[in-house]
Structure 1
Amino acid sequence: MVWNWQISGWPDFRYEAAMIAPFEERFLLSSGEVLGAVRHVRASERDQLRVDLLSDEAMKTSAIEGEILDRLSVQSSLRRQFGLTPDSYPSKPREQGVAEMMVDVYSSYDAPLTHDTLFRWHEMLLSHDRKLEVIGAYRSHADAMQIVSGRFDRPKVHFEAPPSDQVPDEMERYLHWFNKTAPGSADALPALTRAGLCHLYFESIHPFEDGNGRLGRALAEKSLAQNIGHPSLIALAFTIERERRAYYDNLERHQKILDVTPWLVWFAETVLNAQQTTLDRVEFLIAKARFHDRHRGRFNARQEKTIARLFREGPEGFKGGLSADNYIAITGTSRATATRDLQNLVEIGALFRTGERRYTRYWLQLEADTVAD
């Protein structure tokens, strides 16, 4: 098998810019929509929006690699990193590390990319891992760096990266490429093209012993932030995690060739979907604030607890809707009280109801609180 880094012409990826151009235009327009929506968020709630979106990214970029994090610990760590009033939930080492990296990516988006930047992110991300030989530096082991699956005795090799002794030179060239294609430079690339190439290029070098996927997605976010000129809150990892199989399939396919137009098209569509996800979450937060203004002082303690739980589920809400049994489980109340509470919430316009009898479900009533044009 010949890998992309073994092909004559590496790392000069080929692509049809005309096929990516419509996506680039949509990205710039959508970026303006997201920025405009964020400006509608109350200043007092922007910090929470930032914590919510970055915690989602931290959770999902880890989930892509099969690592499940404690959301409350991630959020607690993010609050500390941003200098916000901390909650009482403990920050665990793994969650604290990914939170530190996410904040560093967010805060230093406009700085040039250096070896030290990548080493710092790697240390933040993996300082808790005692199994790794090298943390905060490029891999140096003599064994081949391979992405494999299947049985131990019959592994399937999906990709093999350049040998470790080539990594320093490959990364020096990568950093030069990343910085010379930044906005304002003579060789500047459009936003989606640059971010898609920077991710595929980095993953093909696979310079670290572990953490390459998470660092590669962080680089794509840094690249996008540089091109739009402000810190990125794009739900990229959140969206990729939903299409994880397609993500890995596209990476594998394009680590064997240098013609990467299909990869850039897939990546561009993914970023646009991620922008829409971010926009939906911003609008949901605005609707939440208006909902609470409308219903302030109208809920009893049980109803308050349930409404808070519904909002924690995000724009998608409870899968299948809130049932009376859900309400009882959340509040610990009786069925008769649950029925009265839910009926009251419908009557005052906080919830709306669908279905009948045992199929009855309840949903947040947000229509009156949507963002005005």
Structure 2
Amino acid sequence: MDKFPFLSYNTYKTSKFIIFEVLYVKHRNFYHEVITMLYESLYHIYYKSPADWEKEYSQRFHSAAARHLPVSISQYGRQQEHPAFFCYTEEIALLQDKIMNGFHQFTQTVGRLPPMAMPLYLHTCLIDEIKSSNDIEGVHSTRKEIIDALNRPVQERSSLRLGNLVSQYEKIIDGAKLNLNSSQDIRRLFDDFIYDEIKREEPHNLPDGKIFRRDSVDIVSASQKTVHRGLYPEAKIIAYMDNALAILNDDTLPIFIRVAIFHYLFGYIHPFYDGNGRLSRFITAYYLTQRLHPAVALGLSVLIKNQRSKYYKLFTITDADCNRGDLTPFITGMLEFSVEALQNTSYALQEKLANYESCLPKLTKLDLPNKTTNHLCDLLLQGTIFSPHGLSMKDLQKYLDKSENTIYAHLKKIPAELLLVDSRTKNYLYKLRYTHSQE
């Protein structure tokens, strides 16, 4: 894992909007100058101190800390396009360092979990991620239908509304690799991820171009005001997407920075009529999984849903003509989301682990008849604490490696007052009534 140690400080002459030192940071075998302290967006400087705005833009764009990108940004309704760039700032460096230090602490917590806790928790994260990502886009879905899809064999899911989407997220958990090198790769992922759902519910929103959409598409606010128009025509979409993918795969850029840049550019390009937000968050989750852990990556949409106004504001600021193509604020904001998602996940697991360790001694007092029943009871306790939905018979068969009849026989040996069966879904879910609050 990459670390970002501060190597040396050099004096750097700049304006009052950026404090005046530069430090050198090593990423792989590359050294980057980094602007220290607060970095105020050009968007805010324009409205706060318009007389300094042009000079500030010039200093940033031409500074040694700037990294220029092979795309341009234009606000809806404005003609001028601005070359995209960002600046390596101390805040960005520290946020990356905070991610890696936080991840080290996270892995220590994971190492203390009981055997089935993480697989169970990951399924909970997957359900919450899909539900939250749909909610962000105003797409109605329920946890029940996501759970139903999870409990179906993969080959039966394509007929379900969210079946393919669930299968793609499961691939993230299972460590599958995505090859995203060209626009055609993005289209293939779209087809696997969300094509069937859109075809089932809004077939007029299916892509109608060679790869992406053929016509223009507007993003409108709640008041029906157009706030952004996706790139057009399709040839421009393809060219920009290929450049965005080149950035995403550029090893000279730290991974968290390039993932943030691609996340913004995907929204800016808006290659499809529908599904853009959900697909871009899926791609972001995939790449964060490669460096961190699926549990952290799958917590991102939940966090974004809860801070939707901040998320949309990042796009608004970065799109603005007066921001002049500076992606630094967007990168910083996405890194902040990643730090918070990591902290939230670590805290949740620590709390659940403490709950499990508190409840475990109670199971030893039950005097269950044999080792298999004890194991089943322990597994149900893990399912109760680390997955609020409980365990299906399919889960129990998988984790115990026993037949359905054998498991039913052992379930009957657990005191009836402790066993809770949820029959609201097609596949019954089993839990224990033991919780941390029950003595």
Q: Following the alignment from structure 1 to structure 2, what is the Cα–Cα distance between the partners of residues 232 and 82?
A: 21
Check whether the contact 1:222–1:232 (CA below 8 A) recurs between aligned residues.
no
Q: 1:126 to 1:291 in 2, by over 3 A?
A: farther
Check whether the contact 1:196–1:268 (CA below 8 A) recurs between aligned residues.
yes
Aligned with 1:271 (options 319, 325, 338): 338
| Residue type of the alignment partner of 1:140 | R
- Tell me the secondary structure at the aligned position of residue 221 of structure 2: strand
What fraction of aligned residue pairs are identical, expressed as a percent? 20
What are structure 2's unaligned runs of at least 5 residues? 1-72, 367-379, 390-419, 422-432
Q: 1:247 to 1:161 in 2, by over 3 A?
A: same
1:118 is the counterpart of 2:152:
no
Q: 1:102 to 1:164 in 2, by over 3 A?
A: farther
Please, which moves more after superposition, 21-30 or 168-177? Answer: 168-177
Q: Following the alignment from structure 1 to structure 2, what is the Cα–Cα distance between the partners of residues 237 and 278?
A: 13
TM-score, scaled to structure 1: 0.68
Partner of 1:26: 98
Q: 1:364 to 1:102 in 2, by over 3 A?
A: farther
Partner of 2:47: none
1:77 is the counterpart of 2:149:
yes
Partner of 1:236: 300
1:141 is the counterpart of 2:214:
yes
Q: Following the alignment from structure 1 to structure 2, what is the Cα–Cα distance between the partners of residues 176 and 147?
A: 25
Describe how 1:176-215 pairs up with structure 2 within 5 A. Answer: 176-180=246-250, 185=251, 187=252, 189-215=253-279
1:219 is the counterpart of 2:286:
no
More strand by share: 2
Q: Number of residue pairs matched? A: 301
TM-score, scaled to structure 2: 0.59
Partner of 1:64: 136
**Per-residue deviation at 1:57?**
1.0
Please, which moves more after superposition, 235-244 or 120-129? Answer: 120-129
Aligned with 2:229 (options 160, 163, 168): 160
Check whether the contact 2:260–2:331 (CA below 8 A) recurs between aligned residues.
yes
Aligned with 1:283 (options 318, 336, 350): 350
**Per-residue deviation at 1:169?**
1.6
Q: Following the alignment from structure 1 to structure 2, what is the Cα–Cα distance between the partners of residues 81 and 50?
A: 18
Q: Which has the higher contact order (CA 8 A, sep 6+)?
A: 1
Q: 1:286 to 1:121 in 2, by over 3 A?
A: farther
Check whether the contact 1:112–1:179 (CA below 8 A) recurs between aligned residues.
no
| Residue type of the alignment partner of 1:98 | L
Check whether the contact 2:86–2:328 (CA below 8 A) recurs between aligned residues.
yes
Q: 1:44 to 1:173 in 2, by over 3 A?
A: same
- TM-superposition CA deviations, 1:3-55 (whole Å, max 9, x none): 28965454x33234323111010001111222222222222233212211111
**Per-residue deviation at 1:294?**
2.2
Check whether the contact 2:356–2:385 (CA below 8 A) recurs between aligned residues.
no
Partner of 2:112: 40
Please, which moves more after superposition, 71-80 or 129-138? Answer: 129-138
Check whether the contact 2:296–2:341 (CA below 8 A) recurs between aligned residues.
no
Q: 1:92 to 1:209 in 2, by over 3 A?
A: same
Partner of 1:341: none
The two structures, once aligned, show a CA RMSD in angstroms of 3.7
- TM-superposition CA deviations, 1:191-234 (whole Å, max 9, x none): 43222211111111111111111111122222323334x65633
Q: Following the alignment from structure 2 to structure 1, what is the Cα–Cα distance between the partners of residues 90 and 153?
A: 41
**Per-residue deviation at 1:244?**
0.8
Aligned with 2:122 (options 47, 50, 54): 50
Q: 1:33 to 1:249 in 2, by over 3 A?
A: same
Q: 1:29 to 1:66 in 2, by over 3 A?
A: same
- TM-superposition CA deviations, 1:169-203 (whole Å, max 9, x none): 221222222112xxxx3x2x224322221111111
| Residue type of the alignment partner of 1:250 | L
| Residue type of the alignment partner of 1:70 | T
Partner of 2:161: 94
